[in-house]
Amino acid sequence: MSAATIKRCAVIGGGIIGVAVARELANKLDGVQVTIYEKEDRLAAHQTGHNSGVVHAGLYYEPGGLKGRLCRRGVDLLQDFCAAKNLPYEACGKLVIAQTATENKRLEAIFARALANGVPGARMLTGEQISEVEPNAVGLSALHSPETAIVDYAAITNALAEDVRKQGGTIRLGQEVTSLEHRGAGVVVRTKGGEEIHDLVVACAGLQSDRLAHAAGEPGTPRIVPFFGQYFLLGPESRDQVKGLIYPVPDPKHPFLGVHLTKRIDGEMMLGPNAFISFGRESYTWNRVSVRDIANYALFPGFWNFAGHNVPSAIREFRTVVSKKRFIREAMRFVPSLDGADILPGTRGVRAQAMNSDGSLVDDFVIARRRNMVLVRNAPSPGATSSLAIAEYIVEQALQD
């Protein structure tokens, strides 16, 4: 599309990626009218406002892939934005700790990826060196990423939104988009309150991304299957046992990472999250159940293929769901001094896990273009870290002929 022909843009979704895209459009296109449609009564109401707040440095991602490239670019942009807006940004550092020889071998492969991705300061530590970074942590070896940071993504989203407003953009809260349809040279955006036509539409709908894409004529897969993640907080007396972030080595036998320790920007120390199938895409409490959402994955063959291949993982995660003792025991593998620590209920998030029809999980970012619509089909971690870079990428893609 030619930038000169774009006068009215719509962004669907008021999470950090959607608001970052709206800001990028307002910055790049002269005289454009940008409108954000958000179905909730506030921005950052879902994944953006329920995550750990980690700014990932790019340790794990395939070199040259979209995640690897956009994560590293996103870190730089995010750090500059926080500095310009006087928002907190703390490079508290991260350890990925191996406890066995098998885990150490996988950790060395992660280290090689980190070097290929240009992660600053990444280095391997022996078991004896771990205590130099985290005095209470133990392990056979560790990968240290000193530049891994923490932020408040909801605060960043609101600061991005303020930039959108200052440039004449409009943010419509409580406006759920029900469908998108090409009409002539434009795209009709329908809500329960009516319809409007725009020259360019970018859908960043997160937990509802597959439904909106399907309503726009795209394939129904990848399908979003929701998994909740429960966090706990260490009691005040144990909060200083950990200085930064401590993660396990990812196990290819398990689709999700497992319990880890994460410092929060307000000084709290979180344990978690676990990962277990959710009773709704937006179910942040046990008593919120969506029959529609359950039916959506229960009738999806891909989900049952996934479940059949991941019974051991489901058992592992279920144990941490039903037992706080099991939850903290997982953390004690890395910090034994947490034995007897009080843990308090924390937040719960719901992951928008994109799944293929064969049950495989979609790992990389998936951004599809359909004429003058751009649809973000999958933006898992490090989606928030990469948000400003994803916005650059989306706008570049949209403006290509």
Residues 120 and 246 in one domain: yes
Residue pair 275/256 in contact by the 8 Å Cβ criterion: yes
Q: Are 121 and 186 members of one domain?
A: no
DSSP 285: S
Are both 254 and 171 inside the same structural domain?
Answer: no
- For residue range 163-181, list pLDDT tens digits in order: 999 999 999 999 999 999 9
Q: Which domain holds residue 195?
A: 3-49+154-222+363-398
Neighbours of 40 (CB within 10 A): 16
Is there a single domain that holds both residue 231 and residue 182?
A: no
Predicted local distance difference test score (pLDDT) of residue 259 = 87
Report yes or no on 80 lying in a domain: no
pLDDT of residue 2: 73
Q: pLDDT, tens digit, for every residue of 7-30?
A: 999 999 999 999 999 999 999 999
Residue 79 within a domain: no
- Helix H, strand E, coil C: the string for 154-190 is HHHHHHHHHHHHHCCCEEEECCCEEEEEEECCEEEEE
If asked whether residues 178 and 283 sit together in one domain, one would say no
Model's pTM, two decimal places? Answer: 0.96
What pLDDT, on the 0 to 100 scale, is given for residue 231? 92
What are the residues facing 253 on neighbouring strands?
Answer: none
Within 13 Å of residue 106, how many CA atoms lie on the same side as its CB?
A: 14
Placement of tokens 């990968």 in the chain: 143
The pLDDT value recorded for residue 315 is 85
Task: Give the model's pLDDT for residue 277.
Answer: 95
We report the CATH number of the domain holding residue 326 as 3.30.9.10
Residues 36, 13, single domain; the answer is yes
User: Chain centroid to CA 342: how far?
Assistant: 28
* Burial (CB count <10 Å: 0-12, 13-18, 19+), residue 254: middle
Q: Give pLDDT < 70 ranges for the chain.
A: 1, 401
Please indicate, yes or no, whether residues 248 and 369 belong to a single structural domain of this protein.
Answer: no
Residues 161, 139, single domain; the answer is no
Amino acid 401: pLDDT: 65
Residue 162: the pLDDT is: 98
- Do the Cβ atoms of 366 and 355 come closer than 8 Å? no
Contact 378, 180 (CB under 8 A): no
69 within some domain: no
CB-side neighbour CA atoms (13 Å) of 43: 27
**Domains held by the chain: number:** 2
Examine residue 40 and state whether it is found in any structural domain, yes or no: yes
Q: Which pLDDT score, from 0 to 100, does residue 361 have?
A: 95
| 8 A C-beta contact, residue 318 and residue 330 | no
**HEC readout, 73-136:** HHHHHHHHHHHHHCCCCECCCEEEEECCHHHHHHHHHHHHHHHHCCCCCCEEEEHHHHHHHCCC
Bond before 222 cis per omega within 30 degrees: yes
Q: In terms of domains, do 136 and 171 share one?
A: no
Shared domain check, 122 and 30: no
Measure Cα distances from 252 to 102, 161, 322, 372, 374 in Å: 12, 38, 24, 38, 32
